[in-house]
Structures are given as C-alpha cells and as structure tokens.
Amino acid sequence: MKEFQLPQRLNNLHTALEQCSQIDLLSDGKNKVFTIGERIAINQERGSIFSQIAHENGEITMLEVRTYKVPPHIENKIKFTLSKITN
C-alpha cells in the first residue's frame, strides 16, 4: 500500500468500526454491521497500517512490519458501510 493511501485507509477502517459501534449502542446489538471476528480482522488491518507508518517514521525495522488486508467479504461490508454513511 502506498504511503499516501495509509492515512485514508486507516480513517475508513476507523469510521466503519465507529459506525458499527454506534449501531450496537442504539439497538442492543441487534443490527450489527460486523461480527466480532470481522471486527478483529478490521483491527488486524489497522494494526498492520500502524506498523507500516511506524516503519516509514523510522520507529521499527522492515522485519517488524506486519502486512494484513481484510478478506474480500469484509472489504465489501466496509465499502457498503462507508457508502451508507456518505449517503
């Protein structure tokens, strides 16, 4: 992933999780957007992005950088959630 895309991707993942959390609070979790496992996967990608940023800032070595991307079915749910937010 290119450097300029990292902050936007990180923001998108955060926004999707935040939206899911708000739905959980409002409806006692009945209309969850993401399952617990999907939320874990999204946070795994967020952690991966943070490690890439840390490497770019010289805080960690390349060997310490994690790479993870959510599976396609979760990516589709993220895109759907973000599109609902913007509409």
pLDDT of residue 86: 85
Per-residue pLDDT of the chain (87 residues; tens, 9 = 90+): 455 588 999 999 999 999 887 765 555 555 678 999 999 999 999 999 999 999 999 999 999 999 999 999 999 999 999 998 888
Burial of 38 (0-12, 13-18, 19+ CB in 10 A): buried
Residue extents of the structural domains in the chain: 3-86
In Å, how far from its chain's centre is CA 37? 13
Q: Model-level pTM?
A: 0.83
Per DSSP (E only), the strands in the chain are: none
Per-residue model confidence (pLDDT) at position 30: 57
Q: Determine the pLDDT at residue 46.
A: 97
pLDDT given at position 1: 47
Look up residue 36 and give its two tokens. 């617990």
Assigned token pair, 62? 């390349």
